[in-house]
Structure 1
Amino acid sequence: MSNESIGGESTFVDGLKVLEALREEQPEYFRLLAEYAIPFRFHDTAHDIREHHPVINLDNFGNIVEIKYNAHLADVFDLPSDVMYDYYLAYRELMARLKDARYKIELKLAAGQMVVFDNRRVLHGRNAFDENVGERRLKGCYVDRSEFKSRLRTLKKQLA
């Protein structure tokens, strides 16, 4: 909506590419992150959301469906003691890879610009900005994946 601030570039990381490289180079770390569920929590005055899920979600064929990663929402890990150490190593390796410039794009969005991306593949954030200089106001919108795919199928039938 507006972005006259100094800094505040939107950042995007290709999580799928990061996970494919991890699977290739560190298969045991990949396995741990796909097999073990960890707790995530978001709470404020109106919400108290608590979920356990693996960081890497695979389908029945071993294909990556999504990455569920948010270091700010991860709660205290409650894994079996014999797994905890190796899991932390895997998690730290993933964190380092997510910061790798090879997988990252930064964009300074102008008023009226829009970015569309798959929230299950692409991790997003922003760089720091000076809140005392200029206004920075963005608006987010999320579309459910199953609803999106349903709409594509019905449009395809209508246009065929």
Structure 2
Amino acid sequence: MDPVLADIFRLSKDLLEKAQTRGVTIGVVESCTGGLLGAAITAMPGSSTVFMGGFMTYSNDLKERLVGVSHDTLRKHGAVSEDTAREMAAGARERLGVDLAISITGVAGPGGGSAEKPIGTVCFGLATSDGVSSETQLFADMTRNRVRDYAVMHAMKCLSEAVG
């Protein structure tokens, strides 16, 4: 098995065990990963005890309609921004009724990058009962699929830390 995929499955198993032990529910909202995070979480037996569901909002229209990202945020900051990632996570947490929601939005490539947001730029939002945080990671010099894989791994690490 590909070592990166093995890491994803290990992280998923660890995340689910921690969330089950603490009774924490999880939801996701994904753009550039196209459902890979939800798929990785639900690949583990027993995931339904903590994973409530998610949204795949590849288009800006769906970011607005499904999870409540402001049109102004998208216009001012773009889909790949921490502002958008925060609104995605907050909207998913509210709409799914979960303890934790994470969002992923980025430029996986091979096109679509810019000087400000090069290929491999991925923004994450994490919504909890304490509020919403965000961060940006650059997964440089990787193929499209590797950017997406590393984004999934990073999201699972963020969720695992948030679970405690």
Task: Confirm or deny a common fold (TM above 0.5).
Answer: no
RCO (CA 8 Å, sep 6+): is it higher in 1 or 2? Answer: 1
Scaled by the length of structure 1, the TM-score of the pair is: 0.23
The structure whose residues are more often helix, as a share, is 2
The structure whose residues are more often strand, as a share, is 1
Q: Which has the larger radius of gyration?
A: 1
